[in-house]
Structure 1
């Protein structure tokens, strides 16, 4: 069932490379962090190199970003007494805002799910003028980690043939609507021609 499985793409020019059980165990031990089962499964396939979503697999760096996120959350009194695991930090400097933005991807391990919800902690615009930002926690689209990876894969590589077949009813429903729109546009164009004569 696709909802419970990662969609991995075998791209010869950009191969996924996984970690061994021993490497994953060492990573957990050296970083002093525990990983959810779905995340371990992801690392088996893409721990060394991912063609969709690269995560931090250096134990020292992993612990560093994890501790940084904990400090940021504590400053805002967020998820106190909750066990978290930060898996990625993304930093970017936006010239337009003349500001540096940090985004952390993390799991709340206290939820105790084998396929955990993936959260993002970062700056979000809080007004229409795009000049005020606030650090917030949001859930990724699809909420859980597997759904997030599959959606990112679909965005990068397109949907599978199987998914196209699942969409056939939607395609069938949209054909009459499309034909109706073409007829209406044709009638409107003909009416304009007649009125202009």
Structure 2
């Protein structure tokens, strides 16, 4: 696997996250082929731990393998506003790894080749904005902090 594991900070909270099921490397490779992208290192780490089941971590987001195809389809729908005739460009290199409540779509750009890329959000406005400086920041702010707050 990778020399640096970007998500190892989550290991200290595994008892709070509950049961997780990751993907095997061959399954991750198949996903990359299916979406015609090369995932950043941090996302490979994430999938290898949380790809099939994420326990209570990011539980209000659609992040597991069975949701990924729908995330992109829904994001493409949200990228066009028929009323105002506004269309946001969604590049093939954008990988929509999460969806929240059907109108917030989170992605990174696989063409940047960064190990821990910035995260962008596409909303139903439609509008794309930078959301977090890195995937690990997204995991901390959107996954870990709410989990720990709910448990306290």
TM-score normalised over the length of structure 1: 0.55
Which 4+ runs in 1 deviate beyond 6 A? none
Structure-to-structure mapping, 1:7-26, within 5 angstroms: 7-8=9-10, 9-11=13-15, 14-26=18-30
Shift in CA distance, 81/45, structure 1 to aligned 2, threshold 3 Å: closer
Which residue of 2 is the match for residue 66 of structure 1? Answer: 72
Structure 2 unaligned residues grouped into runs of 5+ = none
Corresponding residue pairs, total? 133
Deviation at 1:38, TM superposition (A): 1.0
2-structure distance, mates of 1:74, 1:15: 38
Shift in CA distance, 27/83, structure 1 to aligned 2, threshold 3 Å: closer
Match of 2:139 among 118, 131, 149: 149
Higher relative contact order (CA 8 A, sep 6+): 2
2:109 counterpart of 1:108: yes
2-structure distance, mates of 1:108, 1:118: 8
**Residues 68, 97 of structure 2: 8 Å contact kept:** yes
Which residue of 1 is the match for residue 93 of structure 2? Answer: 83
1:81-125 residue CA offsets vs partner (Å, 9 max, x unmatched): 56211112233xxxxxxxxx51111112233311111111114xx
Which residue of 1 is the match for residue 49 of structure 2? Answer: 45
2-structure distance, mates of 1:79, 1:38: 25
Deviation at 1:77, TM superposition (A): 4.3
**Root mean square deviation of aligned Cα:** 2.8
Shift in CA distance, 57/80, structure 1 to aligned 2, threshold 3 Å: closer
Deviation at 1:153, TM superposition (A): 0.7
Q: Which has the larger radius of gyration?
A: 1
Deviation at 1:156, TM superposition (A): 1.6
Structure 1 unaligned residues grouped into runs of 5+ = 92-100, 124-133, 159-197
Which has the larger displacement, 149-158 or 75-84?
A: 75-84
2-structure distance, mates of 1:66, 1:16: 23
TM-score normalised over the length of structure 2: 0.69
